[in-house]
Structure 1
Amino acid sequence: MSSSRPIASRAGADAPRDFVSSVVHSFRSASPLAQELLARDLEACSDDGDAPDDEAVGQDSDSDDGHTLTLYRRPSGIAYGSIRPTQGPSRLDLEPVLTREERQLSRDAERSLLRDNHLLPPKHPVVEKPSLIRRWYKSLFNTKVPISESDAESAAAPSGRETEVSPLLGTRAARSPASHEHLNEQWEAAVAEGKIKTTWQREAKTIALYSRSLIVTFVLQYSINVASIFAVGRIGKLELGAVSLATMTANITCYAPFQGLATSLDTLCAQAYGSGHRHLVGLQCQRMTVFLWLLIIPVAAVWSQAEPILALLIPEKRSAELAAQYLHVSLLGVPAMVAFEAGKRFVQAQGLFHATTYVLMIAAPLNILLNYLFVWRFGWGFVGAPIAVVVTQNLLPLLLFLYVWLIDGHQCWGGFSKRAFANWGPMVRLALPGMIMVTAEWFAFEILTLASGQFGTSYLAAQSVLVTLTSLTYQIPFPLSIAGSTRVANLIGAKLAGAARTSAKVTFVGGFLVGMFNLTVVAAFRYQIPLLFTQDPEVVEIVAQAIPVCAVMQLFDGMAGVAHGLLRGIGRQEIGGYANLGAYYLVALPVAFGLSFGLDWKLEGLWFGVTIGLILVGLIEYWFIYQSDWDRAVREAEDRNHTG
């Protein structure tokens, strides 16, 4: 696993080798680089006479000293893509810094688990003679751990002796009001005694609660790009294919690399937030924003020559022309996209995860309205779609700024600083692994769009429908994988290996059920779904022929996403990264090209190859999870938290 020792700087001929070595090392653990960057910033603050904030974040006045088995972790590392959302390298080796509200959530979760294990009195009075319906409901949804007959007899029998653990483990003592005054001691003693267990009902309830708001956020974010596809698809199949081609180009050359680089803020902002110097959170965001704004210059150079470049890759010249037009307009929204990605990490580091949801609840419906007005009402046609996206992208950071200024989050903003133009080295080395991971995963799917353009305009338009459909359905299993990852990491960090295994099983079943649901819906409406995008009969027929393959893919897509989340939960996310890269590039893409071009299966061949790759990814990852030593994962997590 990762080392906690800082990376020493070297000079001379060893510098290139050391840079490569640090990048490879940071792929597995970015903590030393983050510590190096934080140390430099803290030294600069010290030189300027800045002192830590009096009320360090997470050090609330009501915090309990020695409370080490925290049961609350927040999901982070989320990159909202325009096609498939991804997560950058996980930071499980960082001790979570809790706000006051999060600390209360942690206490509530611990208290609830103590009740479920009969170590605290029930929250509601026990009904002596429940009704038949109540008994049925309780048998299905009750989260309490069943008591064995021997435990029930020993709990009912009067105890003649009191020990130092009897206030926690004895039923009579647990029911006394005094037990609530020592919740932390009770929790730690119960964990040490191995008394904390969980049920599938509790884990299902918790994971559903975690993923609920994430699903809403992902769907809202994705709708910004989907709205333009729906609007343009009604114009014609040429325009529909051009949108897909433009989106593919934008994802590979800009959105994926930029969002991958921005995932480093999930580590940098979290450590800055926990250092007590809250203004450093704003400094990290400024530094990343300036860095990405400079990278827009080469992106603009590529997009300005998009038409001749795309014309070399696809036979349809008009599609290349429209796609280039889309990119030229979309360039006006890239600076705002960068600011929003950095601002999103700024509020997430403070535990304000609902901030982006509130912003999207305003921006997403407005984007739909703008697409209708610009494309159809004002008669701007194809060019109206990218204009609507640009307006929405520029609105997102503005709304987030208003939230921070007027509602919450401004405490971590120390104003604009010239330090944003310095100390970029560790930040870049920390950001590169995230960029490689995100870009590699996106490129494997985006290359299918480029390949489909070789079959003609109708197939390119059909590919646009299939990509949009599969990406939309992915907005359900991916948040579920984040919830499962968060819950498993939560329980691992609290030294509850058995409970973590139970939660992993529940997440696995949830992924299977979601995959079956998506499969059923997609297969049942194979002829109705393409009509939502286009009325062209040729495109509709091509989509309907390929949808059965995409429907089967839904099951394995969801299962693979959940498996990757579980690997992140036990701190072995690098296995998922290697499995993804190997399965996609060594198996999926060669099979896809062989079937689509060699056997002339066209789109069915492309998606069949991806399905084979997802099956392989799932098999590798689930085999590794099945063989994993969960007790060892607990020990490794404990070591990371002590040394991180």
Structure 2
Amino acid sequence: MSTPHQPIKARSTQESLARDLAEYDDPEGSGDGGPDERDGRFQRGDNPTSDDESSSGASTVRPEETQHSMANSYRRPSFVAFGGTRPAITPQQSDPAWLTKKEKKQSRDEERSLLRDNHLAPPKHPESAKRSTISQLYRWIFSSKRPRPAEDVEAPVAPLFTAEPSETSALLGHGPEESTRSRHERLNRQWEEAVATGKIKTTWQREAKTLWRYASPLVVTFILQYSLTVASIFTVGHLGKVELGAVSLASMTANITGYAVYQGLATSLDTLCAQAYGSGKKKLVGLQLQRMVYFLWVLTIPIGLVWFFAERILQRIVPEQRSAELAGLYLRILVLGAPGYACFESGKRFVQAQGLFSATTYVLLIAAPLNAFMNWLFVWQFGWGFVGAPIAVVVTDNLLPILLFAYVYFIDGKQCWNGLTKKAFHNWGPMVKLALPGLLMVEAEFLAFEILTLASSYFSTTHLAAQSILSTLTALTFQIPFPISVAASTRVANLIGATLADAAKTSAKVAFCVACIVGLFNAVLLFTLRNHIPQLFTNDREVVELVARVLPLCVTFQLFDALAANCNGLLRGLGRQEIGGYVNLFCYYVVAMPISFGTAFGLHWNLEGLWTGVAVALGLVASIEGYFLYQTSWEKAVEDAQHRNEVG
């Protein structure tokens, strides 16, 4: 998706950084996590858009540092869900071009662990000569060690190093203590020798553990942020089907005209803030943040006008006038939370650029339960009814940046803030040019599913309410396979960048198996509870029966949904994310939309028809991308990653 815009992004980044660095006087050094302290070795050949652009931007500032770009370093997943409804096109993440101390330590630990598992280094703990049957079974299921080949058992290969070094290990028996730098250099040589001789392999147990370690916190974060949307639908739904449909209509309008705009434009900070931090000028990160916040606040004026007069606009589009009236009321109140949401979207990129990926999770651990509580309190306990839901959203939208500010001020991240400055009011041109492609991409991601919501309003209020529940449920189940795909993307990219093609293939196979399990789990869950889940959202019998009737159709594509998300993740890991972008665009806008409207309005299948097109599209996406991955040469992917690294 992002690849066609790469030259534009690179030029815009270079132009912005060149201007800022020419006029910005920052006496401090690069500091922790900056380019001068990178020494991670477990390599990565991930996203050419994010990595190569990061390299190009950094080379403008400090050419000698480009060799340390993200393409040469081990990374963990950094993408954080941005909420909203289910995207039609899997979003792409951009990673900063540097390593924190924690991540450099993770890199070295990963290398040591792989050396041990391949019997090239002594184990952490002495192995028992005799094992019980239970111990052997446990080892077979959970141990990540590779079995020794028969020839190695007869004539064991000497490990690359014979003792696990400690902080004070000496190079010679009575020589001076080995320095940390010397130990790291020795580890690098040992690792490179093992890779060069093809001795590094992996196991499905190791890859399953790694996938779990990467994906589990992401799943929590995704579900927490999506719960901000679910809480309003869940609470208001019990007021009536008109109110339930109105919330769905209002959310759709807010996503297309507001939230997607904020999210899309803020993606430029993924490059600008990371490049500013990687340049060693930490205060520039805060400057970029201020620029984006002011820019989004300016855009809030036209967005606010659209939301304020949304009732008149929707009444001309939607046949259900009462739903349009309530949706307009919801949006008028929502205007008060737009500046806070814009600030949070920018602030999220600010902390991510510093490697503080858990900051958003901690904020959501506080905000998400509070949001659910306020929805219940305002709608039911205070008796405010329908207006209580948007008020709860407004309070949450303004609370999010406050909590994030508290994290930065009291915990970590304030080293990149230098106070308010007038410089934030100029040099917007490069930022805007860099932000526009992101805006177009995010709008394309959300528009397909929002069109279905709008189309459902032409059937009846019951259908609009049922569509609200169906879209919420399918988006909620998507919050499990998508973060797993992000984790798979990162792991495969790490292994490809480390020239471990066989290990990358093993990791991809494990990811496919996990995607199948998750997809089948979602399908069984939805089908088994199809008559009970709708009752959690509404008491209206007509809506419950309609959802229960359509839900089996949504069940049919749960496996395809999980596989499609996984394929997109693996394509990102291979650096071929443009394939996924084009396939998704084609399947959703060329195939799904005509089928959905043809069956829904032409064949009068109504809601079943709208979801038929989605089911067909997901099946096509999974099939096309799966076939592409099956035909992919993993050795060629390693060569391509090496070429990108050399160019960077």
Which residue matches 1:40? 19
Flag structure 1 segments of 5+ consecutive residues without an equivalent: 3-22, 157-169
Which residue matches 1:635? 639
Which residue matches 1:211? 215
Taking the TM superposition and a 5 Å limit, the aligned residue runs for 1:479-498 are 479-498=483-502
Deviations 1:586-632 (A, max 9, x none): 00010011111111111111111101011111122122222222223
Alpha-carbon distance in structure 2 between the residues aligned to 1:302 and 1:114:
59
SS in structure 1 of the partner of residue 239 of structure 2: coil
Q: Please, which of 383, 389, 394 is the counterpart of residue 387 of structure 2? A: 383
Q: Please, which of 137, 147, 159 is the counterpart of residue 171 of structure 1? A: 159
Q: Please, which of 17, 26, 29 is the counterpart of residue 50 of structure 1? A: 26
TM-score, normalized by length of structure 2? 0.89
Please tell me whether the aligned partners of residues 326 and 386 of structure 1 are also in contact (alpha carbons under 8 angstroms). yes
SS in structure 2 of the partner of residue 80 of structure 1: coil
Partner amino acid for 1:528? H
CA-CA distance at 1:425 after TM superposition: 2.1
Which residue matches 1:107? 108
Which residue matches 1:461? 465
Partner amino acid for 1:106? S
Please tell me whether the aligned partners of residues 223 and 364 of structure 1 are also in contact (alpha carbons under 8 angstroms). yes
1:619 equivalent in alignment to 2:623: yes
Alpha-carbon distance in structure 1 between the residues aligned to 2:7 and 2:578:
6
Which residue matches 1:262? 266
How has the CA–CA distance of structure 1 residues 580 and 457 changed in structure 2, closer, same or farther, with 3 Å as cutoff?
Answer: same
Please tell me whether the aligned partners of residues 30 and 281 of structure 2 are also in contact (alpha carbons under 8 angstroms). no
Which residue matches 1:275? 279
1:202 equivalent in alignment to 2:239: no
How has the CA–CA distance of structure 1 residues 53 and 383 changed in structure 2, closer, same or farther, with 3 Å as cutoff?
Answer: same
Which residue matches 2:143? 142
CA-CA distance at 1:176 after TM superposition: 6.4
Please tell me whether the aligned partners of residues 518 and 554 of structure 1 are also in contact (alpha carbons under 8 angstroms). yes
Alpha-carbon distance in structure 1 between the residues aligned to 2:191 and 2:3:
39
CA-CA distance at 1:151 after TM superposition: 2.6
Please tell me whether the aligned partners of residues 89 and 434 of structure 1 are also in contact (alpha carbons under 8 angstroms). no
Say which is worse superposed, 318-327 or 176-185, in terms of deviation. Answer: 176-185
Which residue matches 2:156? 155
CA-CA distance at 1:348 after TM superposition: 1.0
1:404 equivalent in alignment to 2:408: yes
1:345 equivalent in alignment to 2:386: no
How has the CA–CA distance of structure 1 residues 199 and 493 changed in structure 2, closer, same or farther, with 3 Å as cutoff?
Answer: same
Alpha-carbon distance in structure 2 between the residues aligned to 1:34 and 1:79:
24
CA-CA distance at 1:60 after TM superposition: 6.8
Taking the TM superposition and a 5 Å limit, the aligned residue runs for 1:513-532 are 513-532=517-536
Please tell me whether the aligned partners of residues 56 and 276 of structure 1 are also in contact (alpha carbons under 8 angstroms). no
CA-CA distance at 1:494 after TM superposition: 1.8
Alpha-carbon distance in structure 2 between the residues aligned to 1:320 and 1:520:
35
Please tell me whether the aligned partners of residues 78 and 263 of structure 1 are also in contact (alpha carbons under 8 angstroms). no
Which residue matches 2:124? 123
How has the CA–CA distance of structure 1 residues 388 and 64 changed in structure 2, closer, same or farther, with 3 Å as cutoff?
Answer: closer
Alpha-carbon distance in structure 1 between the residues aligned to 2:625 and 2:507:
17
1:580 equivalent in alignment to 2:592: no
Please tell me whether the aligned partners of residues 74 and 351 of structure 1 are also in contact (alpha carbons under 8 angstroms). no
SS in structure 1 of the partner of residue 517 of structure 2: helix
Q: Please, which of 610, 613, 629 is the counterpart of residue 606 of structure 1? A: 610
Alpha-carbon distance in structure 2 between the residues aligned to 1:255 and 1:193:
51
Count of equivalent residues = 605
How has the CA–CA distance of structure 1 residues 372 and 208 changed in structure 2, closer, same or farther, with 3 Å as cutoff?
Answer: same
Q: Please, which of 231, 245, 249 is the counterpart of residue 253 of structure 2? A: 249
Alpha-carbon distance in structure 1 between the residues aligned to 2:644 and 2:23:
27
Alpha-carbon distance in structure 2 between the residues aligned to 1:36 and 1:639:
25
Please tell me whether the aligned partners of residues 38 and 98 of structure 2 are also in contact (alpha carbons under 8 angstroms). no
1:190 equivalent in alignment to 2:207: no
Q: Please, which of 73, 76, 81 is the counterpart of residue 75 of structure 2? A: 73
Which residue matches 1:5? none
Flag structure 2 segments of 5+ consecutive residues without an equivalent: 42-66, 172-182
Say which is worse superposed, 246-255 or 431-440, in terms of deviation. Answer: 431-440
CA-CA distance at 1:641 after TM superposition: 2.9
CA-CA distance at 1:81 after TM superposition: 2.5
Please tell me whether the aligned partners of residues 268 and 438 of structure 2 are also in contact (alpha carbons under 8 angstroms). yes
Please tell me whether the aligned partners of residues 67 and 184 of structure 1 are also in contact (alpha carbons under 8 angstroms). no
Which residue matches 1:14? none
Alpha-carbon distance in structure 2 between the residues aligned to 1:73 and 1:283:
26
Say which is worse superposed, 362-371 or 29-38, in terms of deviation. Answer: 29-38
Q: Report percent identity of matched pairs.
A: 59
Which residue matches 2:432? 428
Alpha-carbon distance in structure 2 between the residues aligned to 1:395 and 1:409:
18
Alpha-carbon distance in structure 2 between the residues aligned to 1:565 and 1:453:
34
Q: Please, which of 596, 601, 615 is the counterpart of residue 597 of structure 1? A: 601
Alpha-carbon distance in structure 2 between the residues aligned to 1:75 and 1:61:
21
Say which is worse superposed, 66-75 or 431-440, in terms of deviation. Answer: 66-75
CA-CA distance at 1:332 after TM superposition: 0.8
Please tell me whether the aligned partners of residues 477 and 511 of structure 1 are also in contact (alpha carbons under 8 angstroms). yes
Deviations 1:235-272 (A, max 9, x none): 10110000000001111111112211212211221111
How has the CA–CA distance of structure 1 residues 332 and 373 changed in structure 2, closer, same or farther, with 3 Å as cutoff?
Answer: same
CA-CA distance at 1:29 after TM superposition: 7.6
Which residue matches 2:84? 82
Partner amino acid for 2:127? V
Taking the TM superposition and a 5 Å limit, the aligned residue runs for 1:5-44 are 25-26=4-5, 30-44=9-23
SS in structure 1 of the partner of residue 85 of structure 2: coil
Please tell me whether the aligned partners of residues 72 and 106 of structure 1 are also in contact (alpha carbons under 8 angstroms). yes
TM-score, normalized by length of structure 1? 0.90
Alpha-carbon distance in structure 2 between the residues aligned to 1:117 and 1:592:
52
Please tell me whether the aligned partners of residues 58 and 98 of structure 1 are also in contact (alpha carbons under 8 angstroms). yes
SS in structure 2 of the partner of residue 416 of structure 1: coil
Alpha-carbon distance in structure 1 between the residues aligned to 2:387 and 2:145:
58
Say which is worse superposed, 73-82 or 499-508, in terms of deviation. Answer: 73-82
Say which is worse superposed, 569-578 or 78-87, in terms of deviation. Answer: 78-87
SS in structure 1 of the partner of residue 156 of structure 2: helix
Alpha-carbon distance in structure 2 between the residues aligned to 1:172 and 1:565:
34
Which residue matches 2:293? 289
Alpha-carbon distance in structure 2 between the residues aligned to 1:127 and 1:60:
44
SS in structure 1 of the partner of residue 549 of structure 2: helix
Q: RCO greater where, 1 or 2, for CA within 8 Å and sep 6 or more?
A: 2
How has the CA–CA distance of structure 1 residues 382 and 423 changed in structure 2, closer, same or farther, with 3 Å as cutoff?
Answer: same
Alpha-carbon distance in structure 1 between the residues aligned to 2:212 and 2:8:
29
How has the CA–CA distance of structure 1 residues 531 and 91 changed in structure 2, closer, same or farther, with 3 Å as cutoff?
Answer: closer
Alpha-carbon distance in structure 2 between the residues aligned to 1:573 and 1:475:
20
CA-CA distance at 1:382 after TM superposition: 0.1
Taking the TM superposition and a 5 Å limit, the aligned residue runs for 1:214-225 are 214-225=218-229
